[in-house]
Structure 1
């Protein structure tokens, strides 16, 4: 039987807590504002790390969910002999009530240079047309202000960044590409991804950064982390070539 705890607070996303097997539970955050739900997911994950419950073995924040792995044998038992999930659910519900998501200051703002269009952004003109914008207007809106890194996923160092202006809400491509070069900037559904490696993908490619998003030998392998903000900075093709960190200048 699915057992949940649902709560609503003024100006806060609502949440549902449900089991996913014997050692994992999922906290789902919902509401009209995806950015707020994402910020609450990250703040809640940080709150659990701070509380350091002995039974928690791993915490996996995502876009609007937090996965919490736990060891049932470590969960405190009381006289009622409730199931471990019930005990953890109530404890997490209390933690959720204490989470503060007042517009947080980003840990840092990371500037990402981008060469938009042409060979580096083959979908730019088509994407701009789909958004009823000129290519210049799309670039201006995409690089206008810092935007949240909402999560990393899909591949090492692969960020999901958003949300952008509502005009940048075009869908993904009908036919994904089998090969997308590293550093490619994809746009869809008011979000941007940056491909850290050569990967398949269906996002609209509007540009490419010369920076390496993932380098295992670096002290910090991932260039950006969830909770950072990214500001995209337009650069020329010549500047791209001068800054190119990707293996092989022809990629």
Structure 2
């Protein structure tokens, strides 16, 4: 058991960022997930949303509600001194610091086994589904089958959800697959496209511009606004890519469409 190292800073006028580390690692992912659970169990009136990233947690809050609630508590207790100079961020910072200073990191268990369930993502790597697969293979001077073999051999922890709703940033990719992003991004990428960007791999949840190298596509819907939670994957989950044929892809795609009707 150890004390939690952290730093806080504002993000605009209605959010606070808690930084828990510097590097992208399993240890920091574990720490972020622990603190997320802790904060969710100590949710404050006026908080709106909590967003976990590689090494940070951002809390968005309603500045007016925080200020009105906190100022009322201050006046009720008679602690009026300095109240006029305080911003909503100041009240949130005090609350967060009190929570985190009292928090003790559970580092007594192994990190393995602490991540979420393994979720299998079916991916078709055939021609037409992975338009950059051959280019990635040429870049590494191997066959396309070798790229697929490397990509499906790992289990990937979900480090962050962003830049679009439901987009998972996955860690743990084989270093041999690291490939630079495209020099000219595409203006439209099909939903479900599986890509490589630098040393990471991820999945585009819906049609969007992007510059990652596309090596396959899944028929699964990663972002479902009609379901709670809307993102199929959550920070701390694990992903395993499973190869499917184009026939299986279309069958699963049709199954998703009929299920939505």
Gaps of 5+ in 2: none
Alpha-carbon distance in 1 for matches of 2:186, 2:203 = 15
After superposition, give the CA deviation of every residue in 1:45-64 in whole Å (9 maximum; x if it has no partner): 11101233456443221232
CA contact (8 A) 2:52 2:235 kept: no
**Residue 239 and residue 85 in structure 1: after superposition, are their counterparts in 2 closer, same or farther (change >3 A)?**
closer
Is residue 31 of structure 1 aligned with residue 40 of structure 2?
Answer: no
**Residue 74 and residue 128 in structure 1: after superposition, are their counterparts in 2 closer, same or farther (change >3 A)?**
farther
Residue 18 of structure 1: aligned partner: 9
Residue 175 of structure 1: aligned partner: 184
TM-score, length-normalised on structure 2? 0.76
Superposition deviation, residue 219 in structure 1? 5.9
**Residue 125 and residue 92 in structure 1: after superposition, are their counterparts in 2 closer, same or farther (change >3 A)?**
farther
Gaps of 5+ in 1: 1-8
Q: What does 1:77-226 align with in structure 2 at a 5 Å threshold?
A: 83-84=90-91, 86-94=93-101, 97-98=104-105, 100=107, 102-103=110-111, 104-218=113-227, 221-226=230-235
TM-score, length-normalised on structure 1? 0.79
Is residue 61 of structure 1 aligned with residue 70 of structure 2?
Answer: no
Alpha-carbon distance in 1 for matches of 2:58, 2:110 = 23
After superposition, give the CA deviation of every residue in 1:91-131 in whole Å (9 maximum; x if it has no partner): 24325543558414333211111111411001112223334
Alpha-carbon distance in 1 for matches of 2:214, 2:103 = 38
Superposition deviation, residue 146 in structure 1? 1.9
Alpha-carbon distance in 2 for matches of 1:210, 1:50 = 35
Aligned length: 237
Alpha-carbon distance in 1 for matches of 2:185, 2:215 = 15
CA contact (8 A) 2:126 2:245 kept: no
**Residue 58 and residue 157 in structure 1: after superposition, are their counterparts in 2 closer, same or farther (change >3 A)?**
closer
Greater alpha carbon shift after TM alignment, 198-207 vs 60-69: 60-69
Greater alpha carbon shift after TM alignment, 71-80 vs 109-118: 71-80
